[in-house]
C-alpha cells in the first residue's frame, strides 16, 4: 500500500523551499498534511484553528480541504516564520494569521467553537490540552502530530509525549485514536460537554489579530 498523498497543495513546494533556506525543520510531513486536508473537507463551513503555524505547511494542506465559507485561524509566537506563511498564503481570505503565544491566546479567545483544532505547539498539546478541547464544538476534531520518537528530541521530551498519550485517550469529552502512522498522530473527536459547561458560544468571534 502506497500512502503517498495523491494530491499536493500548490503553495507547498515554495513554502518548503523557504523553510529549507531558513533552516526551519518543523513542518508537518506530507501524510499528516493529506489527513489535515481530508479532515478539513469533512467540515464544510467550519471554523478551524492551528496552534503553531510554522512557515505554513500545515496551513497549506488545510486550505484546499476547506469549503469557500470555512475559516482558519492560525497562531504562532514567532513573527518571522508567520511572515513566511502569510507571504505564501495570506491572499486567501479564509485564513487569518495571528502572532501570539498560544497559551495567552487560549486565555483570551472568546469566539465561537471550532470544528477542528490542529495542536502543533506545546500549549493545547503537552499542556493545556483540556483548555483547547473545551473550545471544540460537539463532533469537533482534534489532531496532534509528532508523537513517534525522533532522534532530535531532547531527553525529557519522550516523558512529555508518554504523559500526553497516557492522558488524552481518557480525557473526558474526547474519543481519541492514537495512530502510529506518519510522524505519530492522535486524532480525537469532541463527544460531550462537562456538567455546567455552556453548549453555545456566548460571544461573537473577535476579529483575529494582525497578520
Ligand atoms: C511544529 S512547528 C509548526 C508546524 C506547522 N503547524 C506545520 O504543520 O507545518 C511549531 C511552531 O510552533 C511555534 N510555537 C512554539 N511555541 C509556541 C507558543 N507557545 N505559542 C505559539 N506558537 C509557538 C513555533 O514558532 C513553531 O513555528
- Any ligand 1 atom below 6 A from CB of 30: no
pLDDT tier at 196, thresholds 50, 70, 90: low
* CA–centroid distance, residue 24 to ligand 1 (Å): 11
Cα separations (Å) of 14 from 4, 9, 10, 55, 87?
19, 10, 9, 10, 11
Could you give the CA distance from residue 46 to residue 151 in angstroms, rounded to a whole number? Answer: 36
- The β-bridge relationship of strands 185-190 and 136-144 is antiparallel
- Name the closest-CA residue to atom 16, ligand 1: 121
**Cβ-proximal residues to 144 (8 Å cutoff; 6+ apart), any chain:** 118, 119, 120, 125, 164, 168, 185, 186
pLDDT tier at 192, thresholds 50, 70, 90: confident
In the predicted structure, residue 189 carries a pLDDT above the cut 50: yes
- Any ligand 1 atom below 6 A from CB of 144: no
Could you give the CA distance from residue 98 to residue 90 in angstroms, rounded to a whole number? Answer: 11
Cα separations (Å) of 57 from 9, 26, 191?
9, 9, 29
Give yes or no for a contact between 102 and 75, defined as CB atoms under 8 angstroms apart: yes
- Name the closest-CA residue to atom 3, ligand 1: 54
Q: Report CA torsion sign: 98, 29, 173, 115.
A: positive
- Any ligand 1 atom below 6 A from CB of 37: no
* CA–centroid distance, residue 51 to ligand 1 (Å): 7
Maximum Cα interatomic distance, the chain, rounded to a whole number of Å: 50
Cα 129 to the chain's mean position, in Å?
A: 12
Provide mean pLDDT across the span 117-126. Answer: 98
Q: In what order do the strands lie in the sheet with 114-119?
A: 95-99, 71-76, 47-51, 114-119, 136-144, 185-190, 174-179
88-108 in b/e form (b: 16+ CB < 10 A) is bbbeeeebbbbbbebbebbee
Give yes or no for a contact between 61 and 55, defined as CB atoms under 8 angstroms apart: no
- Name the closest-CA residue to atom 9, ligand 1: 27
What are 90-121's pLDDT values in tens digits? 999 999 999 999 999 999 999 999 999 999 99
* CA–centroid distance, residue 170 to ligand 1 (Å): 25
Of all residues in the chain, the percent with pLDDT exceeding 90 is 88
Instruction: Look up the pTM and report it.
Output: 0.93
Could you give the CA distance from residue 43 to residue 67 in angstroms, rounded to a whole number? Answer: 8
pLDDT tier at 195, thresholds 50, 70, 90: low
Amino acid at each position: 500500500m502506497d500512502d503517498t498523498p495523491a494530491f499536493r497543495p500548490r503553495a507547498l513546494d515554495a513554502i518548503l523551499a523557504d523553510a529549507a533556506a531558513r533552516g526551519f525543520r518543523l513542518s508537518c510531513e506530507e501524510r499528516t498534511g493529506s489527513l489535515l486536508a481530508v479532515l478539513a473537507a469533512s467540515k464544510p463551513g467550519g471554523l478551524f484553528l492551528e496552534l503553531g503555524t510554522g512557515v505554513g505547511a500545515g496551513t497549506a494542506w488545510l486550505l484546499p480541504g476547506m469549503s469557500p465559507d470555512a475559516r482558519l485561524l492560525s497562531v504562532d509566537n514567532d513573527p518571522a516564520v508567520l511572515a513566511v506563511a502569510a507571504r505564501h498564503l495570506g491572499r486567501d481570505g479564509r485564513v487569518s494569521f495571528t502572532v501570539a503565544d498560544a497559551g495567552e491566546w487560549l486565555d483570551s479567545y472568546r469566539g465561537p467553537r471550532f470544528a477542528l483544532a490542529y495542536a502543533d505547539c506545546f500549549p493545547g498539546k503537552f499542556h493545556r490540552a483540556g483548555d483547547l478541547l473545551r473550545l471544540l464544538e460537539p463532533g469537533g476534531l482534534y489532531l496532534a502530530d509528532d508523537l513517534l520518537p525522533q532522534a532530535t528530541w531532547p531527553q525529557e521530551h519522550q516523558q512529555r509525549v508518554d504523559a500526553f498519550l497516557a492522558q488524552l485517550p481518557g480525557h473526558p469529552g474526547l474519543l481519541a485514536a492514537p495512530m502510529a502512522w506518519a510522524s505519530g498522530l492522535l486524532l480525537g473527536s469532541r463527544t460531550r460537554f462537562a456538567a455546567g459547561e455552556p453548549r453555545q458560544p456566548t460571544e461573537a468571534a473577535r476579529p483575529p489579530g494582525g497578520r
